[in-house]
Structure 1
Amino acid sequence: MMEDPVAALPEAEYRRVWDRFYEDFNFRPSMSSFKWPAIKEPVASVTWSLSALDDDPGYERLDRLVEVVEEGLASCVGPQGTLLALDWQHTSYRFAPQEVGGPGQPAWPLSPYPDGDYYIYLSEDFRHGSFGHPWEESLCLFGEELLDAVSAEVDKVLGSPIRRSGKAVDPA
C-alpha cells in the first residue's frame, strides 16, 4: 500500500519508466502526421479519434469517457494495485486508483484525454493502459482485460475506432 495515494516519480525511476516506455512501445513523439501513430500499438489495442468531443459544449461525453476509462483501469489493477500516470517531459506519478477521484480524495493525476501533451496511463507491468495523442487527437487503449471492460462504452462516446491492433479500420 502506498503512503500517499498519489506520488511523483523520483528522477531515477522517472527515467527508468520512460526508457522502458520508449523501448517497449517504440515511442516516437512528433507533431507530424507522417509519423503517427506515435507508438507501436499493441496487438490487443483499439484507438479512437477524439473528434466526437469537438461538439460537446457541456463536456458530457468527455466526462463519460474519463469516467469509463478510469473505472476500467482501476478494475484492471484491483483493490491494492497502482498505476503510472506519465506526462511527456513533465512530472509523472504512481498512484492508487482506488484511493483517488472520490469524495474527500485527491483527483486522478492527468486524464485519459491528452490536453496539450501525451498523457499515458500504465499498469506497473505495462500490460494495460491508455495513450492519449494530443496532435493526432486520438486515444489508444490496450490490454485485453481493459478492452473487454470499456470498449463498448467508449464506442458509444467516441464512435467507431480508427485502428485495431495498430491497423487502420475500414470506415465502411
Structure 2
Amino acid sequence: MATTAYRELSHGRDAVCDRFYAEFDFRPSMNRFPGIKEPAPSATWSLGRLDDDPGYVRLDRLVEVVQGGLAALAGDGPILALDWQHPCYEVWPNRIGPDTLEPPGRPGWPLSPYPDGDYFIYLADDFRFGTFGHPWELSLCVFGADLLGLIEADLHDLLGEPIRQRRG
C-alpha cells in the first residue's frame, strides 16, 4: 500500500475537472457569484471576517476545522483537492501530519480551503461532500449533510451567519 499523503492527478485530472464543471455548473468569473450551482444542502460564508486577523488565528482555525471535517469523513480513503488552472491532487488525509507539528516524512495538505487567489475545491471522490473557495467573492461554500453536520457550528462561530444556504 502506498504511504504517500497525496499525489498529483495527472492522467485523471481532466475527467475530474470536467465532471466538476458539469455537476456544479462551474462558472469562473471575477464578478458573477456564486461560481457554482451550490448543492443542497450547503452553506456559504463570507471570509471577510478573516481580513482583520492579526497572527492569522481565525484563518488557522478555519483551516483546522475544514480539514478536520474532511479527514473525519474520508477515513482511510482519498479526497480530491482541485486548484483551478493548476495541479490537482488525490489526498489521503489520514496520512497527513498537523500543519505545524508534522513528524518527519508526513507532509501537510497540498492546498488550503481558503481561496488564496484562485478557486480551491475539496471533494469526496464521489462528490457527495466538499468545499468550494471563491477567491473573488471571498467566500467558502461547504456542502453535503455529513460535512455540514461536522463543521457548520464552528464555521458559524468563526465567520458569522452564512451569506447563502440551501437546505433539502
**What is the TM-score of this pair, normalised by structure 1?**
0.91
Query: Superposed, which structure 2 residues align to 1:52-91 within 5 Å?
Result: 52-78=49-75, 80-91=76-87
Note the C-alpha offset of 1:3. 4.3
Query: Superposed, which structure 2 residues align to 1:147-158 within 5 Å?
Result: 147-158=148-159
Query: Superposed, which structure 2 residues align to 1:21-170 within 5 Å?
Result: 21-32=20-31, 35-78=32-75, 80-102=76-98, 103-104=102-103, 105-165=106-166
Between the aligned partners of 1:151 and 1:133, the Cα distance in structure 2 is: 18
**Ranges in structure 2 where 5+ consecutive residues have no aligned partner:** none
Note the C-alpha offset of 1:2. 3.9
2:42 counterpart letter in structure 1: S
Partner SS, residue 58 of structure 1: helix
Partner of 1:13: 12
Contact preservation (8 Å) 1:2, 1:96? no
Contact preservation (8 Å) 1:85, 1:122? yes
CA RMSD of aligned residues (A): 1.2
Between the aligned partners of 2:129 and 2:67, the Cα distance in structure 1 is: 12
Partner SS, residue 107 of structure 2: coil
Note the C-alpha offset of 1:95. 1.1
Note the C-alpha offset of 1:101. 3.1
**Over residues 124-148 of structure 1, what are the superposed CA-to-partner deviations in whole Å (9 max), with x where a residue is unaligned?**
0000100000000000000000000
Instruction: Give every structure 1 segment of 4 or more consecutive aligned residues whose post-TM-superposition deviation is greater than 3 Å.
Output: none
Note the C-alpha offset of 1:60. 0.4
Partner SS, residue 59 of structure 1: helix
Between the aligned partners of 1:109 and 1:117, the Cα distance in structure 2 is: 14
**Ranges in structure 1 where 5+ consecutive residues have no aligned partner:** 167-172
Q: Number of matched residues?
A: 162
